[in-house]
């Protein structure tokens, strides 16, 4: 269950459509394959098989979990580099600790977001805190990679800690859905995240049988990712379920409807709404480096190997590895 909940009756309501508004049609629905990341935590590769032009300015997204860990099982990542983009880690349930080579860090817990601008280069680690490793517990979140435009590829690294209580909360027009805006804006209401390129990122809970209809900037692309539950997207009601991504075509609004019947352990439809103004610049990616040319990738590897991304701090966080 999402950590941040609210009584929708007390929240600002999203305005209904104008007579001339059009719903964005569904262009494709893909199912993300499952795999493992870092030291072995389970993920769904949300963007697998989707054309990069449809994702721009986003590059990559993993749904981390949803998994109920037993004691000793939680996993994270080891120290690793990034350059040329931003990582956005949103913890829906559970806790993740972050530390980086430029002084950023803290605990990402239950509804909080860590927004890290790698820019010119950074080292970081994300790992479950020791108490979670000992106790086990729920782990469920998202990591999204947002491309930086050419002019910001070498920006100074930065870290934003966005607590769950800072997200802007809205209600659907009929009160049947709760929307948490993390960045960008919906219907004139802005989220707390500061971005280098115009994007919107929001998490919505749609109750069984309810419909969410939100305005969406015409110059943004539009993606709907299903975190859990079942429902339909778009004007003709394309069916979607957990682990699927709907890429939408042009229009003024995004419409999502939850099925009237949901699984007992997934009482509502949970979706991410995301989109942005495409950058339309060349993308060269090599692992954790995302640049505009092959020569910049080579330079990134050389700069990392020569220590220009900073150093692992003394007494740094380290990944949990079980004794064998």
pLDDT of residue 5: 67
- The residue behind tokens 């805190």 is 129
Taken in order of first residue, the domains within the chain and their CATH numbers are 26-302 (2.60.120.10)
- The residue behind tokens 């949803």 is 66
Burial 179-203 (b: 16+ CB within 10 A, else e): bbbbbbebeebebbbebbbebbbbb
> Which of 37-51, 126-140, 286-300, 301-315 is the least confident region?
126-140
Annotated binding site for Fe cation: 80, 82, 124, 126
pLDDT digits (tens, 9 = 90+) for 71-82: 766 677 889 999
pLDDT of residue 9: 67
pTM of the model: 0.93
Higher pLDDT, 231 or 127: 231
- Which residues fall within 8 angstroms of residue 302, CB to CB, at 6 or more apart? none
Higher pLDDT, 9 or 301: 301
Q: Is the pLDDT of residue 66 over 70?
A: yes
pLDDT of residue 98: 86
Annotated binding site: 80, 82, 124, 126
Higher pLDDT, 137 or 261: 261
pLDDT of residue 94: 85
Identify whether the C-beta of residue 147 lies closer than 8 Å to the C-beta of residue 290.
yes
Residues in the chain: 324
pLDDT digits (tens, 9 = 90+) for 174-227: 899 999 999 999 999 999 999 999 999 999 999 999 999 999 999 999 999 999
- Which residue, 195, 193, 249, 252, is CA-closest to 221? 249
Mean pLDDT of 87-115: 89
Per-chain mean pLDDT for the chain: 91
């Amino acid at each position: 269950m999402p950590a941040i909940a609210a009584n929708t009756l007390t929240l600002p309501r999203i305005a209904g459509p104008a007579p001339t508004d059009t719903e964005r049609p569904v262009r494709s629905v893909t199912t993300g394959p499952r795999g493992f990341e870092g030291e072995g935590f389970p993920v769904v590769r949300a963007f697998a098989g989707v054309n990069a032009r449809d994702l721009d300015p986003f590059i990559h997204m993993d749904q981390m979990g949803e998994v109920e860990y037993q004691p000793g099982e939680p996993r994270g990542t080891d120290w690793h580099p990034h350059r040329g983009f931003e990582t956005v880690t949103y913890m829906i349930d559970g806790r993740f600790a972050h530390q980086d080579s430029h002084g950023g860090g803290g605990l990402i817990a239950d509804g909080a977001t860590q927004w890290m601008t790698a820019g010119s280069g950074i080292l970081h680690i994300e790992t479950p805190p020791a108490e979670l490793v000992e106790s086990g517990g729920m782990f469920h979140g998202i990591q999204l990679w947002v491309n930086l435009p050419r002019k910001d590829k070498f920006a100074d690294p930065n870290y934003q800690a966005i607590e769950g209580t800072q997200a802007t909360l809205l209600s659907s027009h009929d009160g049947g859905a709760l929307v948490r805006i993390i960045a960008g804006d919906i219907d004139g209401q802005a989220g707390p995240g500061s971005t280098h390129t115009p994007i919107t990122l929001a998490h919505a809970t749609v109750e069984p049988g309810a419909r969410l209809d939100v305005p969406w900037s015409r110059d943004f692309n539009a993606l709907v990712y299903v975190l859990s539950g079942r429902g339909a997207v778009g004007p003709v009601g394309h069916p979607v379920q957990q682990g699927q991504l709907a890429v939408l075509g042009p229009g003024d609004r995004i419409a999502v409807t939850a099925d009237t019947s949901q699984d007992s352990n997934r009482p509502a439809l949970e979706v991410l709404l995301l989109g942005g103004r495409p950058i339309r610049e060349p993308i060269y990616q090599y692992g954790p480096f995302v640049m505009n040319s092959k020569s910049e990738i080579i330079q990134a590897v050389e700069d990392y190997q020569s220590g220009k991304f900073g150093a692992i701090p003394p007494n740094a966080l380290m990944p949990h590895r079980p004794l064998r």
